[in-house]
Amino acid sequence: MTPLAAAANENLAEISNYLIYSSMAVYMLAFFAHIAEWTFGSRSKVARTAAALTAAKEAGAARSAAPAVQVRGKAGATAVLDEPKVTTRSTTGTRDVPDGPGAAGGTVQGDLYGRIAVSLTALAFLVEAAGVVARALSVQRAPWGNMYEFSITFSTVAVGAYLVLLALKKNIRWLGLILVTTVLLDLGIAVTWLYTDSDQLVPALHSYWLWIHVSTAIFCGAVFYIGAAGAVLYLFRDSYESQLEAGRTPGKFRTSVLERLPSAASLDKFSYRINAAVFPLWTFTIIAGAIWAGDAWGRYWGWDPKEVWSFVTWVAYACYLHARATAGWKGRKAAYLALFAFACWIWNYYGVNILLSGKHSYAGV
């Protein structure tokens, strides 16, 4: 590489760093805008969930107290029939409860701050994406050859997936505050502890499979994260609905926050659909990695820690999807299993890369 080209690459690396730090600043503004959305939204009179549960109980009591039905026969005789009982199949987390009004709480001012937050998030996404592209140009390869590059790309893809769902008119703005907070944490760790200067990869990684295998792994992890966030919120909302159903009164702050979320049933369905949609791509990621390993190291599977935990993650999500498809494992049990599966993915990234050694040690700090 000529000195001029080396200087150009160094400048691009500096531009990338500047853009990443700039995106963090914009994400911080989006964070405060989301806080304002939740704050002003809490001033609305929501109480829809409690009213819906009360109405459901009253409707059930009215049905149980309904009068018997008299049927007249051909010969003038009458017979008294009890009211037919309607049996519904219910599962944990499934109640006849409407979705909450969202973080804005149905208020105009809250909605305004929510729109500002989404706009700032979109701007930060564009700035961060430009930083990832500048990093790729500085190293002249795919921008995910180490943990720093993987982290900044991961958060970019996670925010991109969130914005795409919003563009598709999905009601997920309630996820914005959690997402922006996590992205700030991810970028903070990346620039503080994981930063690595622009450099070329080891010879074994000079392959087009770097674009295929690692890019799909990043995308799967970003979508798995959204599914895990839905599972966490489901657990909180389900506990809240259970309290109301039992006649207990949650605290004001708890009520103000959880009442505005979608119902537990909606969150359960959201998490399941997200995880189910991306699971086939995670399967492809593992297969692509095995093919790449065969080209690079002459074997498809070598029980490397990264390979083992990728497979463990696959098994965990497969068990979740299987359990979620059976009536007995819907709800809280399935949510716990989904979070365990995502914890396996997180360990496979941070724990395996930092604490364990193997063929994938090049991805370390």
Tens of pLDDT, residues 115-145: 999 999 999 999 999 999 999 999 888 888 8
pLDDT at residue 2 is higher than 80: no
Q: Supply the pLDDT for residue 94.
A: 58
pLDDT tens per residue across span 203-235: 667 778 888 999 999 999 999 999 999 999 999
Retrieve residue 361's tokens. 């040690």
- For residue 167, name the pLDDT band (cuts at 50, 70, 90): very high
| Spatial contact of 245 and 264, defined as CB atoms under 8 Å apart | no
- The pTM of this model reads 0.84
Mean pLDDT of the chain, nearest integer: 84
Give Cβ neighbours of residue 211 (< 8 Å, ≥ 6 apart). Answer: 142
- CA distances in angstroms from 200 to 3, 142, 345, listed in the order given: 16, 10, 26
Angle value at C-alpha 341, between 335 and 344, nearest 5 degrees: 145
Residue the block writes with tokens 């996820």:
175
Host H or E run for residue 41: helix 3-41
* Model confidence pLDDT, tens digit, residues 11-28: 999 999 999 999 999 999
Q: What is the mean pLDDT of residues 265-289?
A: 95
pLDDT the model gives residue 145: 83
Sign (positive or negative) of CA dihedral 225, 229, 230, 231: positive
Please work out, in degrees rounded to the nearest 5, the angle formed at the alpha carbon of residue 315 by the alpha carbons of 161 and 270: 35
**Residues in contact with 193: Cβ distance below 8 Å, sequence separation at least 6, in sequence order:** 365
pLDDT at residue 49 greater than cutoff 60:
no
310 touches 358 (CB < 8 A)? no
Helix/strand/coil for 193: coil
Contact call for residues 245 and 95 (beta carbons, < 8 A): yes
Beta bridge partners of 79: 71
CB 33 within 8 Å of CB 113: yes
